[in-house]
Every structure is written in structure tokens, then in C-alpha cells.
């Protein structure tokens, strides 16, 4: 009986881990031992963010404090992901990625969902100290980029599976972030058109050079 209950507990923990790591339909397929095929998604909105001057901050704040700050920040972001009904893709260092209209049908408002999340994320970050023991260092400042378009969603790897998105939409989203300004959310024209009926006020930044894409009008 002990072995039986232990096996059940282990299986339950494995199920929880799968659902935390992958979208529900992917986790269910893996539990059934099925192969997960790449999926083409025609219209997804992607959120990219990073922390302004993170490298410099890391040289002035201990690794433990950086870890604490990131954990606080991403815990807040994870709650906002739930609030706006979008999907967290992954975190890499100080970078956070999320998407809408990816695992749930949100064709009508995916751009607005990500825009709302982005506004809340920037505000949440601005309330988190870089180091609780050095308040003079200030709070977290984000740089955010958003773009909408088609992606391919796929599992990669064998020993350590990873749910990943591919395509030019991901590249442009990343460029929107890297060319954004401190404390600002930069969007492509494509994303703005997706949310044209929004109550959110946007300002045209103008034409700026985007690596690999040439000149783009951003907002």
C-alpha cells in the first residue's frame, strides 16, 4: 500500500510539473505518450521585456539580492499573466516572455490583453526595489516590446523538452524590446491595428531603424 500511494503521489507531482511547464493540450499529449507535432498559429501577440541596465546593476548588487529581486518581479508578472489570461512562455535571466492567442482562442482581443499586461508589468516593476538594503539604487525599470503575427509552436529537445515559438514574429518582438526606451512599451504598427478600438492611448514614435527589418513605424 505504501508503494502504491507513493507511486500515486509521484504521478501527481509529475502531472503538476507537466502542466506548469507546458500548455494543457501539450501536457495531456505527453502524459498519453503521444508525439506533439509543431503547430502553426496565424495571429499571436508576443510580449518581451528586460530590465534596463541589468548588467550594471548586477555588478553593484549581490547575486542573492538579484535572485530575490527577480523572484519578486516574476512572481508579480505571473499573477498578471493570470489576470490578463495570457500565457507565460519563459524567463531567461532578466528577460520575460509571454503571448496571447496562443494556447487559448483570443482572436478578438489578444493585442489588448498583452497591452494591458504590459502596462501592469511596467507599473509593478516600478514598485520593486533593486535591493531592499540599498533603496537609493531605485526600483526596477523595464524596457518592453510587443509585436503580433504568425508563429510556429513546437517542442524541442529530447532529455529536457522545451515549448518554444519560432518565426519572424519572435524576431520582430525582440527587436521592439531592444530598441524601446526605459520605462516604455514599444509596439509595432501591426499590433496597434489589432487593438484599434482600444481605450489605451498610444503615441506614434515615428520611423526607426530595426535590425534585420529596416525602417519601421513604431508606437
Q: Would you list the domain boundaries of the chain?
A: 1-35, 37-218
Q: What is the pLDDT of residue 34?
A: 87
Q: What angle do CA 213, 184, 169 make, to 5 degrees?
A: 30
Distance (Å, whole) CA 141 – CA 125? 6
Question: Would you say 47 and 86 are in contact if contact means Cβ atoms under 8 Å apart?
Answer: yes
Q: What's the pLDDT at 76?
A: 99
Query: What is the C-alpha to C-alpha distance for residues 32 and 36, in angstroms, rounded to an integer?
Result: 11
Long-range Cβ contact pairs of 155-160 (< 8 A, separation 24 or more): 155/22, 155/26, 155/36
User: Which residues are within 8 A (CB) of 88 and not within 5 positions of it... i.e. 6 or more apart?
Assistant: 77, 78, 81, 96, 97, 98
Mean pLDDT by groups of 10 residues along the chain of 219 residues? 45 69 86 90 98 96 97 98 98 98 96 97 98 96 98 91 96 98 97 82 94 94
pLDDT for the residue numbered 12: 60
Q: What is the pLDDT of residue 8?
A: 45
pTM, two decimal places: 0.91
pLDDT given for residue 4 in this prediction: 41
Nearest to 85 by CA among 105, 66, 69, 68: 105
The length of the chain in residues reads: 219
Q: Which helix (H) or strand (E) holds 156?
A: strand 142-156
Can you tell me the distance from the alpha carbon of 54 to that of 125, in angstroms, rounded to the nearest whole number?
A: 13
**Count of other CB atoms within 10 angstroms of residue 210:** 18
Q: For the structural domain made of 37-218, what CATH number should be given?
A: 3.30.70.1230
Distance CA 68, CA 176 (A): 27
Dist CA 210 CA 215 (whole Å): 6
Cell (9 digits) for 66:
538579484
User: Taking Cα atoms as reference points, which of 195, 18, 192 lies closest to residue 205?
Assistant: 192
**How far apart (Å, rounded) are the C-alpha atoms in residues 107 and 110?**
6
Amino acid at each position: 500500500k505504501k508503494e502504491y500511494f507513493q507511486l500515486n503521489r509521484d504521478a501527481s507531482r509529475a502531472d503538476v510539473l507537466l502542466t506548469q511547464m507546458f500548455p494543457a493540450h501539450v501536457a495531456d499529449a505527453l502524459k498519453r505518450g503521444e508525439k506533439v507535432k509543431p503547430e502553426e498559429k496565424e495571429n499571436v501577440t508576443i510580449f518581451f521585456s528586460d530590465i534596463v541596465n541589468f548588467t550594471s546593476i548586477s555588478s553593484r548588487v549581490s547575486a542573492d539580492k538579484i535572485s530575490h529581486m527577480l523572484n519578486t518581479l516574476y512572481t508579480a508578472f505571473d499573477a498578471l499573466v493570470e489576470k490578463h489570461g495570457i500565457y507565460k512562455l519563459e524567463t531567461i535571466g532578466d528577460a520575460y516572455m509571454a503571448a496571447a492567442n496562443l494556447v487559448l482562442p483570443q482572436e478578438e482581443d489578444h493585442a489588448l490583453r498583452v497591452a494591458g499586461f504590459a502596462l501592469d508589468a511596467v507599473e509593478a516593476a516600478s514598485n520593486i526595489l533593486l535591493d531592499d538594503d540599498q533603496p537609493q539604487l531605485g526600483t526596477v525599470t523595464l524596457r518592453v516590446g510587443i509585436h503580433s503575427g504568425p508563429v510556429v509552436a513546437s517542442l524541442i529537445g529530447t532529455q529536457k523538452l522545451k515549448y518554444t515559438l519560432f518565426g519572424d514574429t519572435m524576431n520582430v518582438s525582440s527587436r521592439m524590446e531592444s530598441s524601446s526606451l526605459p520605462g516604455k512599451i514599444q509596439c509595432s504598427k501591426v499590433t496597434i491595428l489589432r487593438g484599434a478600438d482600444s481605450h489605451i492611448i498610444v503615441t506614434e514614435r515615428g520611423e526607426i531603424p530595426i535590425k534585420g527589418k529596416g525602417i519601421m513605424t513604431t508606437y
